[in-house]
Amino acid sequence: MPFADFTIWKYLASIVDILLVWYVIYKLINIIRGTKAVQLLKGIFVILLVKVVSDFFGLSTLSWMMQQVITYGFLAIIIIFQPELRRALEQLGRGKFFSRSSSPDDDDQEKAVQAIIKATDYMAKRRIGALISIERETGMGDYIETGIQLNSKISSELLINIFIPNTPLHDGAVIIQRNNVAAAACYLPLSESPFISKELGTRHRAALGISEVTDSITVVVSEETGSISLTKNGELHRDLKAEEFKELLTSELMITNKTKQASSARWNWRGKNNG
């Protein structure tokens, strides 16, 4: 009987050990999700895959090269993932590493969408230039860190005040994260696509640029014409009418308790893509 009890405790300890390891991996993935580290992780998986394939087919030279990369890659990983490791340690120090992730509530999501629509309509009528990027599945922590962090509850009045000309925060992008204004005056990557119309300015190029590297939805209000544009997945839809913009933004961002609405089915406008 004592031996049987020891075996049971051993199995239980193994199960707890496995569960803890998986939970730590899950939290680490959440931390690096949407950062540049995700692309680097994909590169690491490719290297491992090439190593396995080269061993299987007896490609000795290629296998040796991959082995060297794996052997000396640990130090490179520490250097490359330095921002993500720092963020993980900071969360661990704050006690947030093991905290439960919260998902946005439907009511809060609807209020956030309505606030964006109201602010955009106000600024478009008065030709106040604006750039609002809304985080979705892909995290935007790297870009939030380039701006002034606010962590404020979203409202149309706040968005309008941020983009009033000649104010400290009007230059740059506002990033909305989990129904909050995470930061303002953020720098977004400019698109280098040669097919962008020459008449488009920095705001539109930044909106396209961020849509090429994340799955965010970005709203642009032109300072020159007051027109409203929206970018997603590297696509630019220009000169949206108020109703078109409202319906499109709502269909893209509104979520249900179970799943997000199918956005691709409603991406039906034949906007003037890229000019």
What CA–CA distance (Å, rounded) separates 174 from 263? 23
Q: How far is CA 158 from CA 36, 145, 161, 170, in A?
A: 30, 20, 5, 11
Record the tokens describing residue 197, joined without a space. Answer: 């119309």
Q: What is the largest CA-CA distance in the chain?
A: 83
Say if residue 256 is in the same domain as residue 129: yes
Quote the CA–CA distance of 237 and 245 in Å, as a whole number: 10
User: 119 and 238: one domain?
Assistant: yes
**Inside any domain, residue 209:** yes
Residues 136 and 259 in one domain: yes
CATH for 166:
3.40.1700.10
Residues 83 and 213 in one domain: no
- What is the domain range of residue 178? 106-266
Q: Between vectors from CA 156 to CA 35 and to CA 258, what angle results, nearest 5°?
A: 55
Where do we find the tokens 């209000």?
221
Q: Are residues 231 and 122 in the same domain?
A: yes
3-state secondary structure of 258: coil
Walk along the chain (275 residues) and give the pLDDT tens digit of each residue. Answer: 455 556 788 888 888 888 888 887 777 777 666 565 666 777 778 888 998 998 888 888 888 888 888 887 777 777 766 666 666 666 566 555 555 444 446 677 888 899 999 999 999 999 999 999 999 877 788 899 899 999 999 999 999 999 999 888 988 999 999 889 999 999 999 988 777 887 888 999 999 999 988 889 999 999 999 999 999 988 898 889 888 998 888 888 875 333 444 444 444 444 444 44
Model pTM score: 0.62
| Domain co-membership, 10 together with 80 | yes
Q: In this structure, are 152 and 85 located in the same domain?
A: no
**DSSP-based three-state secondary structure for 264:** helix
Reported as type and span, the H/E element at residue 119 is helix 106-125
Residue 198 lies in a domain: yes
Residues 122 and 237 in one domain: yes
**Number of structural domains, the chain?**
2
